[in-house]
Chains A and B, each alone.
With several copies, the nearest count.
Chain A
């Protein structure tokens, strides 16, 4: 083996490190990344992760299109994004190096499986010749490890077949990285024991290879030292690592339990929302009913049917699916039934960039239906708080009997971070607004304050009534073509949502409460905006961050916040939809925009430098 140290390795910042594992789709990089994540989490690091994989199940082996990556950001300090740029890259083949060449910090370490750096693989990656021979990676700490060879060597006495031996090489890479960051291997060992419990040979082989990698790193002295990232100073409590889609699923489970409702999901698979269906489908033991419908329309309609019959009913999808659900959502608005619609946004328009992230369904969520059809719109903003927003969406829909659209995105859904586990006992109560047997029931009579009607659930004696999509007569709920009644009902449907702003908390600001620059964001960009603003605040810039989770209605103090800053910039992963929405709602302000439409999150660096520019002008 050979280790070309092209330069003295710069000392990586031990407060936080970004590591990216990259290889072919078949190289097991997602598993490697997850293992490193779990081990780091157990050590008490704060962290955030983001997987990045191709749209094809298996794109051609060895090509750039086929590269699968997993990025993890760990720190002893507050971590809010998976990091802009990697301190350490593991590249299992030339394509992985090529795909990530702009994502490695100058002077960072690159661990390379040198066995895959041959002419055939260069060509597959679209390199004419070895990228290691020219000067492309001068200034980096290049660690060339013969990972394939040493894995085979390690397992030469194993009973495994060649294919399985080949597959173990990710464990070698993981071993190297464990050594680099001084991490124990027990967590992964016990994981392997559970995962392959039916095949002790596999367990043994994988553990052996991981240790071989670890020992290899220990021996080669490719790095001047190994690093430690101390545990973060997180609030006291029990933690676990959660992905956004998983947290979202669990939030619904918790809400259903606390509302004493059965949870019903009607859904059709679509990237990147399918994992919510997968996650909930696991938990039949908690009574959840998941219905994989024939399409998105059946997904939303079955949920409305279940809602009418008393379930906490949700439907989950991504952009193109939301387009199909518009008519159904309109019916839920007219019939004023509880319903949560989750849109895990991806790149659009049309099929667009299905595995990439974006925030471009906001307008569709607000207006993608015929007629005046206002719905509550919420957005989660970190992988972990997908839990809270699923819970909150459920609470609102059940207590106000009005549909809620909850926006997440591919970045949140697939991203992960540690979550301080809440007990269901500590969550806000949920009191579904339901009529009971014996009530004097008029389907469209309303609570004076919150303006919501009570629903009556089939099976309840004496409350038989008919709902439907034709305009309803106020109070009775009978069909009505009366002109004045229609106008009145349109106003009620909209006012019901506006009144929610009396109930939801005031919008908070992070940083300065007034001053020079107000940074506005919503949904999945929280981490990057927070990091960027945080850095600026450390330099005592006059800046505040106002990040929205309530979109419709907006918090009641929004206007007040806007009026306290000289300059406002709205940052979104779209062409300016929230900025436009603010313009509709608040006249007399100038909303500048900062937008990105590249299928990737903002980097903190690009935000910082843009904000600095704004602050300096």
Chain B
């Protein structure tokens, strides 16, 4: 197979996000990741809904579909069922995926259709100029509620794990390396791979993730999980997470007799999602926010199950073509 580079994945269309928008970094990371996947260029589809982020497919020189608001998982499902050989990437915003598209989103996760979903979570409706979204922090003032929202936000991790998500990862738009790593892992995972990207909207919700991504705080505010490794963070990696009864706690190695052996070891492959959910819920200031692949478990995929069933039925077929069906059963001649 010919060797592809990021250039092969850049379309001729001018990128039209606001200067400084987090989407640029994600686009670049994606264009760099695809060559690592060893797949043919013509086998990729980028499918999106509507939103700033949903313009993404136009900038990728692959097959692409900028569909309608909220429905991308349904299109993606049809695509993957029609052709299970394709590598399908759904691009979606927090409004697209969790407001109008919430239903398709949870059903895709439940079915575990083998696609990759990139959730560009900027906690705002960008394209329609700044209304609050289902992930906006309660109380923020936006055009559609200038007195502060009264909506309790979704936690994307809790919602998706509640919907039986088999793969959940998280990354910030300021970490291109981690993005690339996760994109590659997502593609390798069989089933619906959900990646929440904390993405900054400079125009309507600037710095909403600054307590996590701020240069000054990020060492203590971010924790990158790796399967099989102890859960450590901090500038010198001397901080860690332990499990105390039913709660997570942060500790410092060397203090209060804590050693590396006390630190929780991350098990992304564990079927029970309880601990994954707890890790994903961690937030500054009490905790660092968990990044990386938080959950990645084996579960049969919808496309594969359907195709096995079809293969099985074909093998045990009563009819091999339509004519045989038409002339089967009770017929009579005139």
Q: Chain A residues in contact with chain B, CB under 8 A?
A: 38, 41-42, 44, 56-61, 63, 65-66, 187, 231, 234-241, 250, 253-254, 257, 262, 264, 266, 268-271, 274, 277-278, 281-287, 289-299, 301-311, 313, 320, 327-328, 330-331, 335, 350-351, 420-425, 458-470, 478-479
B202 closest partner in A (C-beta) = A58
Q: Specify which chain B residues have a CB less than 8 angstroms from the CB of A307 in the assembled complex.
A: 78, 82
Q: Is A240 a contact partner of B42 (Cβ separation < 8 A)?
A: no
Tell me the chain B residues, 128-155 only, with Cβ under 8 Å from chain A: 128-129, 131-132, 134, 143-147, 151
**Closest B residue to A240 using CB positions:** B331
Residue pair B78, A264 in contact (C-beta under 8 Å): yes
Q: A292 and B18: CB pair below 8 A? A: no
Q: How far is the CB of B121 from chain A (nearest CB, A)?
A: 16
Report the separation of the CA atoms of residues A34 and B127 in the bound assembly, to the nearest whole angstrom.
22
The reply to whether A305 and B144 form a contact with Cβ atoms under 8 Å apart is no
Main secondary structure of the interface of A (DSSP, over half): mixed
B286 → A minimal CB distance (Å)? 30
- Specify which chain A residues have a CB less than 8 angstroms from the CB of B43 in the assembled complex: 458-459
Determine if B325 and A286 form an interchain contact, defined as CB atoms under 8 angstroms apart: yes
Return the CB mask of B250-294 against A: 1 if under 8 Å, else 0: 000000000000000000000000000000000000000000000
**Chain A to chain B contacts (Cβ below 8 Å), 28 pairs:** A44-B334, A56-B52, A57-B127, A58-B16, A187-B330, A234-B334, A266-B78, A268-B99, A268-B100, A271-B129, A278-B144, A281-B147, A285-B310, A285-B314, A286-B319, A292-B144, A294-B99, A297-B104, A298-B104, A302-B81, A303-B78, A304-B75, A305-B47, A305-B79, A421-B326, A466-B65, A467-B65, A479-B58
The residues in B between 70 and 90 inclusive whose CB is less than 8 angstroms from any CB of A are 70-71, 73-79, 81-83, 85-86
Q: Would you call A309 and B334 a contact (CB within 8 A)?
A: no
**A302 CB contacts on chain B under 8 angstroms:** 74-75, 77-78, 81
Q: Which of B66, B70, B132 contacts A295 (CB 8 A)?
A: B70
- A53 CB to nearest B CB, Å: 10
**Are B71 and A42 closer than 8 Å at their CB atoms?**
no
Hey, which bits of chain B sit against chain A, CB under 8 A? 11, 13-19, 40-45, 47, 50, 52, 55, 57-58, 60-71, 73-79, 81-83, 85-86, 99-100, 102-104, 107, 125-129, 131-132, 134, 143-147, 151, 203, 306, 309-310, 313-314, 316-323, 325-327, 329-334
A421 and B331 contacting across the interface, CB-CB below 8 Å: yes
Cβ 8 A contact of A328, one of B62, B68, B306: B68
Contacts A290-B144, A302-B75, A305-B47: A351 and B128 contacting too (C-beta < 8 A)?
no
| Nearest 6 interchain pairs by C-beta | A305-B78, A468-B66, A302-B78, A301-B74, A466-B64, A285-B317
- Considering the chains assembled together, what is the distance between the CA atoms of A425 and B322 in angstroms? 10
Residues of B within 8 A of A234 (CB): 334
Separation in Å of the A282 CB from the closest CB of chain B? 6
Complex Cα distance, B147 from A305, in Å, reads 24
Contacts of B66 in A (CB 8 A): 466-470
Alpha-carbon distance A42/B333, docked complex (angstroms): 8
Nearest to A41 among chain B residues (CB) is B332
Count A-B contacts at CB 8 Å: 285
| Chain A residue at minimal CB-CB distance from B60 | A466
Contacts of A66 in B (CB 8 A): 16
User: Contact: A270 with B128, CB < 8 Å?
Assistant: yes
- Given known pairs A60-B14, A466-B65, the reply for A298 and B71 (CB within 8 Å) is yes
Residues on B with beta carbons closer than 8 Å to the beta carbon of A56? 16-17, 52, 55
A301 to chain B, nearest CB (A): 4
B322 near A424 (CB under 8 angstroms)?
yes
Q: Contact between B78 and A237 (Cβ–Cβ < 8 Å)?
A: no
The answer for the CA separation of A65 and B323 in the assembled complex, in Å, is: 41
Chain B residues near A458: list those with CB within 8 A.
42-45, 63, 79, 83, 86
- Which B residue's beta carbon lies closest to that of A256? B322
Q: In the bound complex, do residue A285 and residue B313 qualify as a contact, i.e. CB atoms below 8 Å apart?
A: yes
Q: For B316, give its contact among A285, A287, A298 (CB under 8 Å).
A: A285
A187 to B329, CA, bound (A): 11
Q: Does the CB pair B83–A459 fall under 8 Å?
A: yes
Contacting pair B322 A274 (CB below 8 A): no
A464 touches B62 (CB 8 A): yes
Given A60-B14, A264-B81, A351-B50, are A294 and B322 also a contact pair (CB < 8 Å)? no
Is there an interface contact between B321 and A257, defined as CB atoms closer than 8 Å? Answer: yes
Q: Identify which of A237, A294, A468 gathers the most chain B CB atoms within 10 Å of its CB.
A: A294
Chain A proximity of B69: nearest CB distance (Å): 7
B42:A281 contact, CB within 8 angstroms: no
Query: How far is the CB of A192 from the nearest CB of chain B, in Å?
Result: 14
